[in-house]
Amino acid sequence: MANLNRAIIPIAEAQRFIVDCFQSLKVPVSHAKLMADLLVAADYRGHFSHGMNRLEMYLNDIQTGTMDGAAVPTTIKESPATAWVNGNNGLGAVVGRYCMDLAIKKAKNVGVGWVCANHSNHYGIAGWHSIYAQEHGLIGISMTNTSPVLCPTRSKSAALGTNPLSLAAPATNGDSLVLDMATTSVAIGKIEVQRRKQAPIPLGWALDKNGNQTTDAAEAFDASLLLPLGGMEVTSGYKGYGLSAVVDVLTGVSSGASFATNVRRWTLDGSSHEEANLGQVFIAVDPNCFAPGFETRMTEFNGILRNLPPADEEKPVLVPGDPEHAHMVKVDKEGGIRYHESQLANLDEIATKFNVPKIGSL
């Protein structure tokens, strides 16, 4: 067994653990496997804020009845290119897969599929959904609104979510461009990870309860007042604020879901029994509807950017998705995902709480 500190967990074992946890709450195995795929994909790609770190929150929502782990989405209205879906308060991974499957089908038929969903829940990393469309040879786009943690420029209270967006574009030989970003300076999960490690956060990530910038991860997490992408007004934070608003319009407002301050707060302990009713968008576009040779040009595009002269010779220019790809290569080489000691301790607590076998390391 590896040292508990930074132990390496095989991907199959991480997936087994998650499936067991969800099945302990009578979640259908197909739904549990989707959740395992989603959460492990986040950690595999290096987004530790949205992988195992989120597991307990999902489980608590199911246990308290705040979310229905067995729910199946339904289509309310559709056209050849669009659909409006009710997630029926189901798991975000289940809603997302249903919606992107629908978007992909429409894109294959008419060139584009645009699907809006309401009554959904936290759907993990946005990239998991856009990459799924990209794997079908399509341009995939995904967005969601989230609980209000973003402080609009000139405000000292939260009104919008981290409201992430993702675009995945296929290139030759699997060299795809994958953008997956929050519209805040950072996802709140990253502040949570720093808090677990008892480590500081950079200036420009968040405010304290008094509306002042802070580097204290615990203060930032408790206040939940994140700065928009760009930080303060003087460094163009209003642009991140604007992007967050755009995501909420396309997701919450368009789908008839909750939006802005109407979205409930998501709590670690499951103390909030209010339905999330998140709004989400899943878009698939067939690039073959436009100029031929899209994937070849994408490869050229990526090459142009990567081959730019770097300011620091030890830090080459990257394209969106490169850091994640490098992390996946590292995981494959080591035979599993490295988890921090604090995360492993939390997983042991979850195993005891939900009466499942503890996760094993190499």
Does residue 270 carry a pLDDT above 60? no
- Do residues 84 and 95 touch, judged by C-beta distance below 8 A? no
Give the residue from 321, 334, 326 showing the smallest Cα distance to 175.
321
How far apart CA 344 and CA 53 sit, in angstroms, is: 10
Mean pLDDT of the chain: 95
Q: Does the CA dihedral 201-204-205-211 come out positive or negative?
A: positive
Pairing mode of beta strands 206-207, 165-169: unpaired
Q: Is 336 helix (H, G, I), strand (E, B) or coil?
A: coil
How far apart CA 357 and CA 220 sit, in angstroms, is: 34
pLDDT at 268: 62
Q: Average the pLDDT over each of 84-93, 123-132, 190-199, 226-235 and give the range with the smallest value.
A: 190-199
pLDDT at 266: 80
Which of the 8 DSSP states describes residue 230?
T
- Fill in the amino acid letter for 252: G
Distances (CA, A) of 300 to 166, 176, 240, 307: 21, 11, 29, 10
Give the residue from 251, 267, 284, 262 showing the smallest Cα distance to 87.
251
Does residue 113 carry a pLDDT above 90? yes
pLDDT at 271: 52
146-170 tens-digit pLDDT: 999 999 999 999 999 999 999 999 9
Q: Does the CA dihedral 57-60-64-69 come out positive or negative?
A: positive
Q: Average the pLDDT over each of 68-82, 123-137, 181-195, 303-317 and give the range with the smallest value.
A: 181-195
Give the containing element (helix H, strand E) for 94: helix 92-110
Look up the CATH number of domain 70-181+234-306: 3.30.1370.60
How far apart CA 163 and CA 240 sit, in angstroms, is: 10
| Domain locations in the chain as residue ranges | 1-63+334-362, 70-181+234-306, 186-226
Q: Which residues contact 293 (CB under 8 A, 6 or more apart)?
A: none
CB-CB neighbours of 78 under 10 Å: 14
Domain 1-63+334-362: top CATH class: mainly alpha
Q: 277: pLDDT confidence band, cut at 50, 70 and 90?
A: very high
What stretches of 215-258 adopt beta strand conformation (E)?
225-226
Q: Max Cα separation, the chain?
A: 56
Match 């879906």 to its residue by tokens: 85
What percent of the chain has a predicted confidence (pLDDT) above 90?
90
pLDDT at 120: 98
246-255 tens-digit pLDDT: 999 999 999 9
Does residue 23 carry a pLDDT above 60? yes
Specify the fold of 186-226: Wheat Germ Agglutinin (Isolectin 2); domain 1 (3.30.60)
Q: 78: pLDDT confidence band, cut at 50, 70 and 90?
A: very high
Per-residue DSSP letters for 248-275? HIIIIIHHT---GGGSPPP-TT----S-
Quote the tokens at residue 249: 């319009």
How far apart CA 129 and CA 110 sit, in angstroms, is: 20
**CA atoms lying within 13 Å on the CB side of residue 81:** 5
